[in-house]
A and B are shown apart, each in its own frame.
Chain A
Amino acid sequence: MPPSMQDEVIQELDIPDWVYSPLLRAGDTVDNLIPDTGDRAAISTIIGVYSYCTGVWYMKRYTQVLASALQGLLVKTGRFSPEYREYFRRIWASWKQARLLMVSSEDHALADCLFSRIETALKLIAERERFTKNTSDVYSARLGLQLQEPPKREEDPYGI
């Protein structure tokens, strides 16, 4: 195909290999790249929020956003191995099939089944990589400070 026509044909974005490697700044090592509590809570929030949504359109968006968030975290933590690349390629192929099935409303049920399977595949990654948070990670509401005794009422010009 001549180069002039290539831009007119619909093409899937080709992500180069170097994007899947984390960018190390001064002082960074691969071992230091761990997901922080914010990252983990974000993944948990995505899973939690969409867990109560019903409907194939919600499932489409849920699997899309979870897959992209997990891939981002895997790159950030330097864990995007070749096995994961192949795994996400297959997830992406299945997602495309499910999305194309949604064109016809008669195939929504089948699309929903495919999305459910993708959701399970993504959740397994999230759990095995420990990208999710649990209740103990939420802010504990402890004061963390010490309080002084107030001055005697009759001696305190700033009292009640």
Chain B
Amino acid sequence: MVSDINVEFAARLLDEIRIHTNEMGGVFVSLCGSKGSGKTTWMHQYATQVGYIHPATKALTKETVIWRGRDIDYWNWWLDPTYEWENTALKRDVVIHIHSEDEVEFRDEMKRPVTVPHLRKYFSAPELYSNLETGAINVVYEPRDYRMSPAVKDILAARCCTVPLSGNIRLDPPIFWFEFLAFLLRVKGPGFISILLDEADEIFPQNPVGIRWHIQEWFKDNAKDMRKNNITCLFSCHDWNDVDYRIGSKVQYKIWMKGARLPNSSIIRQLDANALTRMLFTAVGQAMIERDGYGTFNIPKLRERPRVKAHFLNLAGRDYERWVPTYDEERDRLKAKALEKAKSQPALTKSGKRRGRPPKIRDDLPGTPGVIR
């Protein structure tokens, strides 16, 4: 019957993306769903479940997880003693990595400070790599003031046939992930790493321009090398069209949640004529996974907890003084506003009266007679 196959497919495909072997290598997974569909909840669960078969011990071993840290995040839930771990053997340490030039204060949404048990600082991709804790969940915050390293400039120069950047230009922080992946591909050992990228449209936007186009092209060309190097990449987005189509074409496993719009390439869309309607009415916490078939699975509900907020004190952050304009700035702003208003007014006549239609006096409305409307 249909659903027996459905359950079998769901179980098999999920096991393929969370239990890794040397034969299969890493996997490339996408997770699409509208806001509140349960994407981050499932990524939370996935980060605790992912493992690999160790070649020497043949045991199912915890895989090293890299979690992309965001300004508002959920990693503090793992630190809660009441967190719903599936079993005690899946418990992992959480290590926070921030750039050495950044000063970060972690507080939850109730403004209570969040105690970070393990905090490590990195300056470069090599240092981040050496600081990674194997078998743990490594939450990595991109450097707020990201400058591309010479090695990445050389890679891009070879692709672009020109020198892409000169000098020390500040770039969009998510570009750091490409630098880190480029380094990882070159130095990494045979072990398994899973990289979980939430809100991937910030990293692989649909319409990149300039150097970003070449960076994403590089990523697309190296996606298969990442899999062969036992690097798993799982990214989430709200809509399939938010992400660069070149990278979307490299995705092996697609997971769809409530509100996802299935592209034409989706097997579910090809096999099920009512797939689009069904996705709209899929329950929150239910997902469909597809590769060479598709299946449905439930995501366990996690108790809602306050999220953690990262305040970068080296930027404007919570430094209130930086949010107040200086006197000179304010005066110039007001002056510019007055000049603009004066330009929009009709010109004065020689007698000093304003040109244009006089204001209409309405005395048919309640209130003071002669009020100008």
Q: Which residues of A contact B (CB under 8 A)?
A: 36-42, 44-45, 48-50, 52-53, 133, 135-136, 138-143, 145-153, 156-160
- Report the 3 A-B pairs with minimum CB-CB distance, sorted nearest first: A41-B3, A38-B4, A146-B89
Contacts A52-B277, A150-B54 given; does A138 touch B296 at CB 8 Å: yes
* A139 lies within 8 A of B190 (CB): no
Chain A interface: which of B6-14, B95-103, B218-226, B235-243? B6-14
Bound complex: CA A38 to CA B59 (Å): 32
Q: Looking across the interface, which residue of chain B has its beta carbon closest to that of A41?
A: B3
Please, what's the 1-or-0 string for B285-326, where 1 marks a CB less than 8 Å from any CB in chain A? Answer: 010000000011111100000000000000000000000000
Question: Which residues on the A side are within 8 Å of B2 (C-beta)?
Answer: 38, 41-42, 45
B62 at the interface (CB under 8 A from A): yes
**Least Cβ distance of A42 to chain B in Å?**
4
Contacts A44-B3, A160-B189 given; does A147 touch B51 at CB 8 Å: yes
**Least Cβ distance of B229 to chain A in Å?**
10
Bound complex: CA A133 to CA B132 (Å): 44
Q: Looking across the interface, which residue of chain A has its beta carbon closest to that of B2?
A: A42
* B278 lies within 8 A of A147 (CB): no
Bound complex: CA A153 to CA B191 (Å): 10
B64 at the interface (CB under 8 A from A): yes
Bound complex: CA A139 to CA B42 (Å): 14
* B1 lies within 8 A of A52 (CB): no
**Least Cβ distance of B152 to chain A in Å?**
21
Question: Which residues on the B side are within 8 Å of A160 (C-beta)?
Answer: 64, 132, 134, 188-189, 191-193
Question: Which residues on the B side are within 8 Å of A48 (C-beta)?
Answer: 278
* B14 lies within 8 A of A141 (CB): yes
Question: Which residues on the B side are within 8 Å of A150 (C-beta)?
Answer: 54, 61-64, 134-135, 191
**Least Cβ distance of B58 to chain A in Å?**
10
* A140 lies within 8 A of B1 (CB): no
Question: Which residues on the B side are within 8 Å of A42 (C-beta)?
Answer: 1-4
* B60 lies within 8 A of A146 (CB): yes
* A139 lies within 8 A of B296 (CB): yes
* A146 lies within 8 A of B87 (CB): yes
Question: Which residues on the A side are within 8 Å of B191 (C-beta)?
Answer: 150, 156, 158-160
Q: Looking across the interface, which residue of chain A has its beta carbon closest to that of B184?
A: A160
**Least Cβ distance of B280 to chain A in Å?**
9
Please, what's the 1-or-0 string for B1-41, where 1 marks a CB less than 8 Å from any CB in chain A? Answer: 11111110011001000110000000000000000000000
B49 at the interface (CB under 8 A from A): yes
Question: Which residues on the A side are within 8 Å of B299 (C-beta)?
Answer: 141
**Least Cβ distance of B1 to chain A in Å?**
4
**Least Cβ distance of A45 to chain B in Å?**
6
B71 at the interface (CB under 8 A from A): no
Bound complex: CA A148 to CA B64 (Å): 12
* Residue from B45, B87, B189 in contact with A141 in the complex, judged by beta carbons closer than 8 Å: B45
For this complex, 7 residue pairs linking A to B, each with C-beta atoms less than 8 Å apart, are A40-B3, A41-B6, A52-B278, A138-B286, A139-B11, A148-B61, A150-B135
Q: Looking across the interface, which residue of chain B has its beta carbon closest to that of A73?
A: B1
* A133 lies within 8 A of B3 (CB): yes
* A140 lies within 8 A of B297 (CB): yes
B163 at the interface (CB under 8 A from A): no
**Least Cβ distance of B20 to chain A in Å?**
12
**Least Cβ distance of B282 to chain A in Å?**
10
Q: Looking across the interface, which residue of chain A has its beta carbon closest to that of B45?
A: A141
Q: Looking across the interface, which residue of chain A has its beta carbon closest to that of B230?
A: A160
**Least Cβ distance of B14 to chain A in Å?**
6
Contacts A41-B3, A41-B6 given; does A148 touch B132 at CB 8 Å: no
Q: Considering the complex, which residues of chain B in the window 238-294 have a beta carbon less than 8 Å from any beta carbon of chain A?
A: 272, 274, 277-278, 281, 283, 286
* A143 lies within 8 A of B274 (CB): no
* B64 lies within 8 A of A49 (CB): no
Q: Looking across the interface, which residue of chain B has its beta carbon closest to that of A146?
A: B89
* Residue from B14, B134, B298 in contact with A135 in the complex, judged by beta carbons closer than 8 Å: B298
Question: Which residues on the B side are within 8 Å of A148 (C-beta)?
Answer: 54, 57, 59-62, 89
Q: Looking across the interface, which residue of chain A has its beta carbon closest to that of B10?
A: A139
Question: Which residues on the B side are within 8 Å of A37 (C-beta)?
Answer: 3-4, 7
Bound complex: CA A69 to CA B213 (Å): 53
**Least Cβ distance of A148 to chain B in Å?**
5
Bound complex: CA A153 to CA B190 (Å): 12
**Least Cβ distance of B105 to chain A in Å?**
30
B55 at the interface (CB under 8 A from A): yes
Question: Which residues on the B side are within 8 Å of A50 (C-beta)?
Answer: 274
B86 at the interface (CB under 8 A from A): yes
* B300 lies within 8 A of A41 (CB): no
Bound complex: CA A38 to CA B134 (Å): 40
* Residue from B90, B134, B192 in contact with A147 in the complex, judged by beta carbons closer than 8 Å: B90
B56 at the interface (CB under 8 A from A): yes
* B45 lies within 8 A of A149 (CB): no
Bound complex: CA A44 to CA B3 (Å): 9
Bound complex: CA A133 to CA B1 (Å): 14
**Least Cβ distance of A73 to chain B in Å?**
10
